[in-house]
């Protein structure tokens, strides 16, 4: 987070003085450390619980460290007086009952591409108190970071939810538009929650594994009812249809394309970077490379940002 983003977050914590904070998306744990330090300065350690949730146990940029290791360093320095819990290696629906209800402050900062944080918000919404604050980081990441053109999930969420919203220009940047926003849950949020579900018809940048789809669908049926679960199922099937339709076209075109030099190993950082450069510069060969990787079962080797541009 930038200085502006950190001040925005800490200002809301100071104003709201929450009793239960849920942070979804930890990465190295810098934001976690900021939250805990803010709580300490406000003398809220004994009355504020903090839950930090991430689907990855190891830090995604360094498997030798665990997610949240920067917060671990702070916790080790300050001692064990914080009421803080890491919940790692699980998706939010798998741990939300352990967190429990009466959540009054949420920070969503995960993948930023559709359906991303929208799924997280819809998962936690039934557990939020009226008036709870939801902070969304990277609401303008698609404009500030060129490779992440499709990182607009939090902006879609912020604009589709009915709530009391916070907006403040960031005068420290050339674009002025802030990269962080927030909203408070009000009496009308639940009545219009279907608008947030419908926002997931915007093209997804990544596919949900069928197992994860079932996890979310079961959670939504439990808390929103069968009709909402049916809506989510319809959206999921529509997204999968679009994905399949695009790649069937890609594979058809690639079957008559002159082959490139074969890539025998796409497991190393060097090989993936070479593919990245090819994807940047070789026009129609982008489709050919991606199709071959997918056909060979190595879809994970395609950098996310270029897969997004290929799809959408």
Q: Are residues 143 and 272 in the same domain?
A: no
Q: Are residues 172 and 265 in the same domain?
A: no
Contacts of the segment 286-294: beta carbons below 8 A, 24+ positions apart: 286/310, 287/250, 287/253, 287/254, 288/253, 288/254, 288/257, 288/259, 288/260, 289/260, 290/250, 291/247, 291/250, 291/251, 291/253, 291/254, 292/254, 292/263, 293/266, 294/247, 294/251
Task: Give the residue with greater pLDDT, 205 vs 235.
Answer: 235
Tell me whether residue 217 is in a domain.
no
Q: Are residues 98 and 187 in the same domain?
A: yes
Tokens of 72: 């671990």
Tokens of 40: 């300490």
Q: What is the pTM of this model?
A: 0.79
Contact of 154 with 115, CB cutoff 8 Å: no
Tell me whether residue 243 is in a domain.
no
DSSP lists the bridge partners of residue 87 as 53
Residue 289, pLDDT > 80, answer no
CATH number at residue 175: 3.40.50.150
Tell me whether residue 232 is in a domain.
no
Q: Are residues 266 and 192 in the same domain?
A: no
Q: Are residues 185 and 77 in the same domain?
A: yes
Tell me whether residue 280 is in a domain.
yes
Of 140-144, 189-193, 203-207, the range with the highest mean pLDDT is 189-193
Tokens of 154: 């939090």
The 10s digit of each residue's pLDDT in 91-115 is: 999 999 999 999 999 999 999 999 9
The 10s digit of each residue's pLDDT in 20-69 is: 999 999 989 999 999 999 999 999 998 999 999 999 998 888 888 899 98
Q: Are residues 193 and 276 in the same domain?
A: no
Which pLDDT does position 16 carry in this prediction?
97
> How far out from the chain centre does Cα 289 lie?
27
CA distance 301 to 293: 7
Domain membership of residue 263 as a residue range? 257-311
Q: Are residues 298 and 159 in the same domain?
A: no
């Amino acid at each position: 987070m930038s200085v502006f983003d950190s001040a925005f977050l800490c200002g809301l914590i100071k104003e709201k003085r929450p009793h239960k904070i849920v942070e979804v998306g930890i990465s190295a744990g810098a934001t976690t450390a900021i939250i805990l330090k803010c709580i300490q300065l406000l003398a809220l350690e004994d009355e504020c619980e903090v839950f930090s949730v991430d689907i990855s146990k190891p830090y995604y940029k360094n498997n030798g460290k665990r997610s949240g290791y920067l917060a671990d360093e702070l916790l080790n320095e300050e001692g064990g007086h914080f009421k803080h819990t890491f919940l790692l290696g699980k998706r939010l629906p798998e741990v939300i009952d352990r967190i429990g209800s009466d959540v009054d402050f949420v920070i969503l900062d995960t993948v930023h591409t559709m359906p991303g944080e929208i799924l997280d918000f819809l998962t936690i919404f039934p557990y939020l108190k009226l008036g709870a604050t939801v902070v969304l980081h990277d609401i303008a990441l698609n404009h500030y970071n060129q490779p992440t053109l499709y990182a607009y999930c939090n902006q879609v969420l912020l604009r589709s939810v009915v709530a009391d919203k916070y907006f403040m220009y960031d005068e420290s940047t050339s674009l002025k538009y802030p990269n962080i926003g927030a909203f408070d849950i009000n009496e009308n949020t639940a009545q219009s929650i279907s608008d947030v579900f419908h926002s997931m018809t915007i093209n997804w940048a990544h596919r949900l594994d069928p197992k994860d789809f079932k996890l979310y669908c079961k959670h939504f049926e439990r808390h929103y009812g069968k009709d909402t679960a049916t809506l989510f199922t319809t959206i999921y099937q529509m997204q999968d249809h679009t994905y399949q339709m695009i790649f069937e076209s890609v594979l058809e075109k690639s079957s008559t394309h002159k082959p490139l030099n074969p890539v025998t190993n796409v497991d190393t950082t060097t090989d993936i970077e070479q593919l990245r450069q090819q994807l940047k510069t070789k026009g129609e060969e982008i489709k050919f490379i991606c199709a071959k990787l997918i056909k060979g079962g190595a879809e994970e080797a395609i950098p996310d940002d270029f897969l997004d541009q290929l799809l959408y």
